Chains A and B, each alone.
Chain A
Amino acid sequence: AQSVTQLGSHVSVSEGALVLLRCNYSSSVPPYLFWYVQYPNQGLQLLLKYTTGATLVKGINGFEAEFKKSETSFHLTKPSAHMSDAAEYFCAVRVAGDKIIFGKGTRLHILP
């Protein structure tokens, strides 16, 4: 069975600083990996996903994530944080034919 762990339920960064949200997964077969974002009062939105191919995945709003099989990680990064990035971010894993499993989420706070 697959699982996903997000390190840190709350992360604070200054505006303009690097954003790094950590995600580690466990899967017995090659996984599909996702990052979702939820802004206040809205449903989940897909930021980016990894299925196969290039391990560095670029998403919306300047975010990207790198699939590192050796580290079983899929950390989300953005070079320069913006106030509008304040939201909750969910890492998720899915294997073909199975349901998606979400992490517990990381709340990103942007400090002025």
Chain B
Amino acid sequence: AAGVIQSPRHLIKEKRETATLKCYPIPRHDTVYWYQQGPGQDPQFLISFYEKMQSDKGSIPDRFSAQQFSDYHSELNMSSLELGDSALYFCASRVQGVNEKLFFGSGTQLSVL
């Protein structure tokens, strides 16, 4: 069965560069969530989208932006990267509904040097 696909798996950037992470939800899933997990840290919710509209916002820095496209994939854009942005970024997707399950991607490991 198809799963949540994230690309790239690994990304190395330098300070002040930009990065774009992509999340491809399971087919028919209309809701996407982004999380950040720093080294040795617990995951932090960043932002979520439903039907291409932002549905909830967590601790996402102003330097980051995200959107969901018409095919429901989502991109997390990160500018002016800082060393502290080094983390695992993973997304999750679901079909909106009371009983629909949440599925997680494997994440993108971002290293800022």
Residues of A within 8 A of B (CB): 9-10, 34, 38, 40-46, 49, 88, 90, 94, 96-97, 99-100, 102, 104-105, 107
The one of A10, A41, A88, A102 in contact with B50, judged by C-beta atoms closer than 8 angstroms, is A41
Residues of chain B with a CB closer than 8 A to A97's CB: 39-40
- Count residues on chain B whose CB falls below 8 Å from chain A CBs: 23
Contact yes or no, A41 B98, CB < 8 A: no
Contact yes or no, A43 B101, CB < 8 A: no
Q: How far is the CB of A36 from chain B (nearest CB, A)?
A: 8
Bound state CA distance, A45 and B35, in angstroms?
11
9 intermolecular pairs with C-beta atoms under 8 Å apart = A9-B101, A34-B42, A41-B55, A42-B48, A42-B56, A45-B45, A97-B39, A105-B101, A107-B101
B104 at the interface (CB under 8 A from A): yes
B3 at the interface (CB under 8 A from A): no
Closest B residue, CB atoms, query A49: B42
Residues of chain A with a CB closer than 8 A to B39's CB: 97
Contact yes or no, A43 B50, CB < 8 A: no
Residues of chain A with a CB closer than 8 A to B46's CB: 43
Q: How far is the CB of B99 from chain A (nearest CB, A)?
A: 6
B58 at the interface (CB under 8 A from A): yes
Contact yes or no, A43 B107, CB < 8 A: no
The listed residue with most B CB atoms (<10 A of its CB), out of A10, A43, A100, is A43
Residues of chain A with a CB closer than 8 A to B66's CB: none
Contact yes or no, A96 B102, CB < 8 A: no
The listed residue with most A CB atoms (<10 A of its CB), out of B37, B43, B46, B96, is B43
The one of B42, B55, B96, B104 in contact with A46, judged by C-beta atoms closer than 8 angstroms, is B42
**With A97-B40, A99-B88, A100-B37 in contact, do A44 and B45 touch (Cβ < 8 Å)?**
yes
B33 at the interface (CB under 8 A from A): yes
Closest B residue, CB atoms, query A97: B40
Contact yes or no, A10 B104, CB < 8 A: no
The one of A10, A43, A49 in contact with B48, judged by C-beta atoms closer than 8 angstroms, is A43
17 additional contacts, CB 8 Å, given A43-B46, A105-B101?
A10-B99, A34-B42, A41-B48, A41-B55, A41-B56, A42-B48, A43-B58, A44-B35, A44-B43, A44-B45, A88-B101, A88-B102, A90-B102, A97-B39, A97-B40, A99-B88, A100-B37
